[in-house]
Amino acid sequence: MRLKNKVALITGGGSGIGKASCLLFAKEGARVVVVDISEESAAMVVEQIKSAGGDALFLKADVSKAEDCLEMIRAAEEAYGQLNIIFNNAGIMDSNDDTAETTDEDTWDRTMQINVKGVWLGCKYAIPALRRAGGGSIVNTASFVARLGAATAQIAYTTSKGAVLAFTRELAVIHARENIRVNALCPGPLKTELLMKFLDTEAKKNRRLIHIPMGRFGEAVEIAKAALFLASDDSSFMTGSELLVDGGITAAYVTPE
């Protein structure tokens, strides 16, 4: 088991990438703290883990609120005695997100509060816990759009994921000598509820698909496997990296530096 005796906290754990990661991490031996704003969906994930013989608990949290993030770390340590992994995965893609001209201020602010501030707060309060555990792994969900513009306008989301990538690099450098690794996971377009709600017409879906060399949307479990790699000791010499799991989309459109 790749995460035996490890404690992992995963935000946005009630659905999509987060749910798939919670189930996989538990299967690999981790005790999993499932964090989500939706109590019902996260409780179902915990039940699935326990039914399979794993160990998990649910914590309700709004990652844009400092008090919630502080409490989720405190509760994880109280329940399991340590924290070894935090996967800052919670994020939104607002259906009102569009171009710089048409996106409203509320959509912009809400996206930044959850997608950027939420990652910062998760790290802010998790780092002391990881230090107490003798080190650990931080995985932040960015996106392929942190490397190239999206074909369908989503200016707030794209900007937020670029910020996560820059934040991850600096944090990795700062904490490299403390045995705290910080990496970004950059998924391509996925067949998740989050993206399918945004790509709500066949035209929008096809506009994405045409750019993906593999010709299909990714699955949440494929991203969970990449998150497992970054969380585990298999990636022990990786920090400050961006792991692209995108069906080849950036290889087709980004010029090597």
φ/ψ (deg, to 5) at 243: -95, 110
- Give the C-alpha separation, 54 to 58, whole Å: 13
Catalytic residue (one of 80, 125, 157, 253): 157
Q: Are 45 and 22 contacting, i.e. CB atoms less than 8 angstroms apart?
A: yes
- Give the C-alpha separation, 193 to 50, whole Å: 24
State yes or no: is 253 an active-site residue.
no
Strands 31-36 and 7-11: parallel
Q: Are 141 and 89 contacting, i.e. CB atoms less than 8 angstroms apart?
A: yes
What sign does the CA torsion over 244, 249, 255, 256 have?
Answer: positive
Residue pointed to by tokens 């306008």: 153
Which residues have a catalytic role annotated?
157
